[in-house]
Amino acid sequence: MDMRDLILNQHEQIPHSLEVNKAVRAIGTFDSIILAGMGGSGHPGDLINALGLPTVPLYVHRNYDLPLDYLSHMNLTSPLVITSSYSGNTEEALSSYKLAQEKGLNILVSSAGGTLQAWAKRDSLPFSHIDYQDMQPRHTLFAAFTGIATALKNSGLADDVTEDLLRVSVVLKKETPGLEARGKELAEMIKDKVPVFNSSDSMGFATKNFKIQTNENAKYPAFWNTFPELNHNELVGFSKLKEGSNANQFFVLIIRDPQDHPRNKARMDVTADLYRNWGVMVEEFEAKGDTQLEKIFYTETLGLWTTYYLAKIRDIDPVPVEGVESFKAKLKEVAGEI
């Protein structure tokens, strides 16, 4: 699917994934959740935490094996392990699955297919299906999140956001086309500069996602940080740009949430003024929405448009990630398969 069509139709992932995964649930008593997933497959866990949905602690694990010692120090000994991999073949997620089985832990699988789907079928495990083939994990966020959130809700491990999801799907169908021009405008501003995306913690997920979409869609370096933390370190890095050869090389997008803490709003104002004085181009965007989910998905959609057009400006196909595939092939040569 062309990425432009994907952006315009991504809202459809929400009701479809709700229907496909409406009966998925994990059976058992759990004191925690480990979501083991890399790249876009770890994003659903971050978003579930960002929205404050879990009824037990949820730990997003981006590594091999499982963080069982870490959890045991907090007397969390009965986790539900979610192995999340769009392809179903991500080696880190496969290693987490194997260890969970060795330890006799309950497992829920989220995937579009591959080895994880085969293992889940073999072992009769609950399976949250990302029912979209031949896509990139980052482009199935709405489907993956909806499926996992639904499974956790069904399992008594997360609050129910079904009504909000359906409402946001309708809103995005209406709003997505109108964000295209803004995304194209931002892409023109970013070209030939290094983009830095900033927000408060409330929009941190969307801000990080903006950075990742820039990396993977536009094949372009990008960075992100949050207020107030960035005022204690990152800000200083921009303070002497005019004195060297790096002036006018950075572009900062400050993503605002109308519900930001008043002090963070003031910090954003002061930071923007300082950056401009220091030779940094600054643009601002206010997230729109009645709920945090809506504001995050609205901003995520702007990120898709922006990075789609940044890729077009650079004459790059925004969909494939050849760099990742080349890395995997080289890793296999050096270290073999897991």
The DSSP code sequence of 43-84 is: HHHHHHHHTT-BSS-EEEE-SSS--HHHHHTTT---EEEEEE
| 123-127, 253-257, 268-272, 323-327: least confidently modelled range | 323-327
Phi, psi dihedral angles at 127 (to 5 degrees): -135, 115
Distance, in Å, from the CA atom of 56 to the CA atom of 211, rounded to the nearest integer, reads 29
Compute the distance between CA of residue 260 and CA of residue 156 in angstroms, rounded to an integer: 30
pLDDT for 17-55, tens place per residue? 999 999 999 999 999 999 999 999 999 999 999 999 999
Q: How confident is the model at residue 338 (pLDDT cuts 50, 70, 90)?
A: confident
* pLDDT score, position 69: 96
- Please tell me the class of the 3-160 domain: alpha beta
**pLDDT value of residue 20:** 98
Dump pLDDT digits (tens) for 186-234. Answer: 999 999 999 999 999 999 999 999 999 999 999 999 999 999 999 999 9
Q: What is the pTM of this model?
A: 0.96
Share of the chain above pLDDT 90, in %: 94
**Is the pLDDT at 130 greater than 80, yes or no?**
yes
Distance CA 127, CA 107 (A): 9
Residue 246 pLDDT level (bands cut at 50, 70, 90): confident
Indicate the average pLDDT of the chain. 96
Helix ranges, 155-279 (H)? 162-190, 204-217, 234-237, 262-277
State the pLDDT at residue 12. 98
What architecture does CATH give domain 184-313?
3-Layer(aba) Sandwich (3.40)
Task: Using the predicted structure, report yes or no on whether residue 245 has a pLDDT greater than 90.
Answer: no
- Is the pLDDT at 180 greater than 80? The verdict is yes
Residue 302 scores a pLDDT above 80: yes
Question: Residue 311: its pLDDT value, please?
Answer: 97
pLDDT digits (tens, 9 = 90+) for 76-112: 999 999 999 999 999 999 999 999 999 999 999 999 9
Provide the pLDDT for residue 337: 83
Residue type, 310: L
pLDDT digits (tens, 9 = 90+) for 275-292: 999 999 999 999 999 999
Q: Where in the chain is the domain with CATH 3.40.50.10490?
A: 3-160, 184-313
